[in-house]
Structure 1
Amino acid sequence: MRTPTISLRVTDRSGNIIAEIDDLPVPVDITPDGHIIVKPLSPVIGRALSAFAATWTDCCEASL
C-alpha cells in the first residue's frame, strides 16, 4: 500500500502563494481490517513549516 501524503501551500495575508510543499508523508496506523487511521498531523506540519522558515531566513540573509 502506498503511504498517503499531504501538500501544504504557504500564503501571505493577502492570499499570495509564497511556497508549496508537496508529498509530505502522513503518519497512519492500519487496523487489522485494513482501515487507515490518520495520526495527528501537527508534528508533520510543524517540521515542514520550520524547515520553510529556516530556508526563508537563510535566503533573506544571503541577499543582504
Structure 2
Amino acid sequence: MIVSVDNRASDIARDTNLPVMPREDLQSSMQSWINHSEPVRIILPTDNIRKWEEQFRSLAN
C-alpha cells in the first residue's frame, strides 16, 4: 500500500494497479483496505518499460 502525497503515486497506480491511499483520509482508507481488500495484482507495463530503456542503449556503447 502506497500513501499518496501528490499525483505521482496516483498516476503510477493507474498504470500498475498498486494500492494507493490518499493521505487526507489515511486511517479510514487503510482500515477499509486491510479489512476488505482483494489480493493485489500488480500490472507492469513491460512494453513501455522496454521502450524507455531502449533510449539509453546507445549511451552505454
TM (normalized to structure 1)?
Answer: 0.31
TM (normalized to structure 2)?
Answer: 0.32
Q: Write 1 or 2 for the structure with the bigger share of strand.
A: 1
Q: Write 1 or 2 for the structure with the bigger share of helix.
A: 2
Q: Which has the higher contact order (CA 8 A, sep 6+)?
A: 2
